[in-house]
A and B are shown apart, each in its own frame.
Chain A
Amino acid sequence: EAQVTQNPRYLITVTGKKLTVTCSQNMNHEYMSWYRQDPGLGLRQIYYSMNVEVTDKGDVPEGYKVSRKEKRNFPLILESPSPNQTSLYFCASSLSILAGRGATQYFGPGTRLTVL
């Protein structure tokens, strides 16, 4: 089944304790992206990757890191989490960044992160 998976689905942590949220897709998609969703603010892009070893900042990259060593995986790293990073996080992927059908993004189920 074609899908985007994220782990963990739920995470409670404390300020300053490094964490990684994993994202994996099995559709051989080139483009992957991380979003955070907050009440009243909708979906905001954190980072995206156009292919292996190619990443770039989105709208709200501060406090986050990403890596793309393999095509299928795009982990999100919080080196020193803070309470303002408490949010619902989504990973998404699409076939390519070109216009048309390849641009359609598919989302993972989400990771709810709480930083105390």
Chain B
Amino acid sequence: GQQLNQSPQSMFIQEGEDVSMNCTSSSIFNTWLWYKQDPGEGPVLLIALYKAGELTSNGRLTAQFGITRKDSFLNISASIPSDVGIYFCAGRNSNSGYALNFGKGTSLLVTP
């Protein structure tokens, strides 16, 4: 499968700040997913996107499916300490296989 380019690799922020991370691909996807992984646990789905241009929120989290279908963004507003973890993007193009392609993750640290 294709490795997605996810950035930044890590972020160290203060509580209350907003966070942005993004993921890009060299090929077109028709599904974008954002996961959060806590230490020692499996990734948990945060937001799923299925159409180009789609903007979806889940509490303080907002994600967008890029118009070009080659990128996606995740924003976290007013961060809190429990936002700490690793955030992964994942994308898939069902026309070119069944694998879910993952980014390498963004490690987020939030200080009180």
Q: A41-B104, A105-B33 are in contact. Are A97 and B50 (CB under 8 A)?
A: no
Instruction: Looking at the assembled complex, report how far the CB atom of A12 sits from the nearest CB atom of chain B, in whole angstroms.
Output: 16
Q: Interface size (A, Cβ < 8 Å)?
A: 30
Number of A-B contacts (CB under 8 A): 66
Q: A90-B42, A99-B50, A100-B50 are in contact. Are A105 and B100 (CB under 8 A)?
A: yes
Instruction: Looking at the assembled complex, report how far the CB atom of B66 sits from the nearest CB atom of chain A, in whole angstroms.
Output: 16
Binds A, one of B56-64, B70-78, B91-99: B91-99
A97–B97 alpha-carbon span in the complex (Å) = 9
Most buried by B among A44, A58, A104: A104
Inter-chain contact B104/A97, CB cutoff 8 Å: no
- What DSSP secondary structure best describes chain B's contact surface? loop
B30 at interface by CB-CB < 8 Å? yes
Interface size class of B (residues with CB under 8 A): 20 to 34
Instruction: Looking at the assembled complex, report how far the CB atom of B27 sits from the nearest CB atom of chain A, in whole angstroms.
Output: 14
Inter-chain contact A43/B99, CB cutoff 8 Å: no
